[in-house]
């Protein structure tokens, strides 16, 4: 009987090893496919807009080389002080040694994806004229029974506008880049791979293909591009708010880059779909997969960004609805492609 039980145990061990090897192979295939997909996306950006692409390489390289070391020192230093258990220096060194490969992969992905996305966004007017604004504005009013910006501004106050502006224009960027940083330093391989695949599809489908197919400028630029004062009331409502320069200055910057035709950091005008809302939703899905309370926090923030996209005048409400719908599908598909991603847990450093 003992011999039989030993044989069964050995068989079970072999099956476990076989399953693990199969899972590792599936992850390797998913990684290779992701690298190929990103390479095609980046090469396409160069082919569509070579001059802007080359300019953006220099701009983003300078920004990354300046900002990322500071961000890493702050993040790793803070984690070391909190989790280092009396040996913060050893913790930081071990963390960077163990995670240097994933850090390089995630940062490389973010660098080339942002650069390519920016190049495509700048090229939208040369690919297709802005054509969708009138029917998007009509659809917005039909769905809500009134212009959504009017509904959003019923909550106007100095305090509330400060919360919305800072969430949309400041905190969103910290959450976005912070998510990539956490993935590079503390996530499990499946969670990291699923998120990177989802981000790549979000950049390419939401931020590029759909942005070209549904080319629009949004309420912010409606009068400038269409010669219609339909959103004059929104402009007046924003001007009354003390921190409105947080919106009007970036808007003037984007318009000036559009008019000059120069390639610059974050340049390009595109409303539908909302990339702000798309990544807020994607991060909410990631946080939900890790912890229900994190998920609640993530979705609360995503709802605030959706509201803020309308309140600030950057987007029509339907821009955000479409983004959430598409990102939901992307997250589901990547969960099937990167098998087991839902069960992955964040790994300690």
pLDDT band at 279 (very low <50, low <70, confident <90, very high): very high
- What is the reported pLDDT for 3? 53
User: Which residues form the domain of 239?
Assistant: 25-343
Element (H, E) at 127: helix 88-127
Q: Quick one: pLDDT at residue 2?
A: 55
Distance (Å, whole) CA 282 – CA 331? 7
Q: Concatenated DSSP letters for 176-232?
A: HHHHHHHHHHH--HHHHHHHHHHHHHIIIIIIIIHHHHT----GGGHHHHH---TTH
Segment 323-332 shows an average pLDDT of: 98
Is 13 a member of any domain?
no
Is residue 60 a part of any domain in this protein? yes
**pLDDT over 50 (residue 21):** no
Mean per-residue pLDDT over the chain, rounded = 87
Q: Specify the range with the lowest mean pLDDT, choosing from 48-52, 150-154, 307-311.
A: 48-52
Q: Is 180 inside any structural domain? A: yes
**pLDDT for 198-228, tens place per residue?**
999 999 999 999 999 999 999 999 999 999 9
Residue 314 belongs to a domain: yes
CB 337 within 8 A of CB 197: yes
- The verdict on residue 34 lying in a domain is yes
Q: Is residue 102 part of a domain?
A: yes
pLDDT at position 88 is 80
CB neighbour class for 303 (10 Å; exposed up to 12, middle 13-18, buried from 19): middle
Residue 102's contacts (CB-CB under 8 Å, 6 or more residues apart) are 183, 184, 185, 187, 192
Question: 112 is written with which tokens?
Answer: 């080339």
Q: What's the pTM?
A: 0.88
Residue from 204, 201, 199 nearest 176 by CA: 199
Look at the chain and report how many structural domains it folds into.
1
Instruction: Report the C-alpha gap between 26 and 309 in whole angstroms.
Output: 38
Q: Give the chain's radius of gyration (CA, Å).
A: 23
Residue 282's nearest CA partner among 159, 274, 65 is: 274
- Residues 6 or more apart in contact with residue 192 via CB below 8 angstroms: 102, 106, 183, 184
Is the backbone of residue 268 left (phi > 0), alpha (psi -120 to 50) or beta?
left
In tens, the pLDDT along 161-193 reads: 999 999 999 999 989 988 998 888 888 889 999
Query: 9 pLDDT exceeds 90?
Result: no
The CA distance from 45 to 53, in Å, is 7
Does a structural domain hold residue 1?
no
Backbone angles phi, psi at 118, to 5 degrees: -60, -40
Any domain includes 2: no
Q: What's the rounded Cα separation, in Å, for the pair 278 and 321?
A: 9
């Amino acid at each position: 009987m003992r011999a039989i039980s030993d044989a069964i145990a050995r068989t079970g061990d072999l099956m476990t090893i076989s399953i693990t090897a199969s899972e590792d192979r599936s992850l390797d295939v998913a990684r290779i496919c992701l690298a190929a997909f990103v390479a095609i996306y980046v090469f396409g950006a160069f082919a569509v807009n070579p001059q802007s692409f080359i300019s953006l390489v220099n701009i983003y390289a300078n920004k990354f080389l300046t900002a990322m070391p500071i961000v890493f020192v702050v993040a790793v230093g803070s984690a070391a002080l909190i989790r280092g258990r009396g040996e913060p220096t050893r913790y930081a060194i071990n963390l960077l040694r163990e995670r240097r490969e994933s850090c390089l992969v995630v940062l490389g992905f973010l660098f080339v994806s942002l650069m390519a996305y920016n190049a495509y966004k700048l090229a939208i007017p040369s690919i297709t004229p802005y054509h969708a604004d009138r029917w998007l504005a009509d659809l917005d009013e039909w769905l809500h029974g009134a212009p959504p910006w009017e509904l959003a501004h019923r909550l106007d106050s100095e305090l509330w506008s400060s919360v919305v502006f800072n969430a949309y224009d400041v905190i969103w960027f910290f959450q976005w880049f912070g998510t990539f940083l956490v993935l590079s330093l503390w996530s499990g391989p499946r969670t990291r791979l699923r998120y990177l695949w989802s981000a790549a599809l979000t950049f390419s489908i939401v931020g590029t293909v759909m942005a070209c197919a549904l080319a629009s400028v949004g309420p912010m630029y409606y009068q400038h591009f269409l010669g219609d004062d339909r959103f004059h009331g929104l402009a007046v409502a924003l001007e009354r708010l003390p921190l409105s320069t947080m919106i009007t200055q970036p808007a003037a910057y984007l318009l000036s880059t559009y008019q000059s035709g120069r390639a610059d950091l974050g340049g390009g005008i595109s409303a539908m779909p909302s990339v702000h809302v798309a990544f807020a939703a994607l991060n909410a899905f990631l946080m939900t997969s890790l912890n229900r309370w994190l998920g609640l926090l993530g979705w609360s923030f995503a709802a605030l960004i959706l509201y803020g996209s309308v309140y600030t005048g950057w987007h029509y409400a339907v821009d955000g609805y479409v983004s959430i719908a598409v990102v939901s599908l992307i997250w589901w598909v990547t969960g099937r492609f990167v098998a087991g991603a839902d069960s992955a847990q964040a790994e300690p450093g």
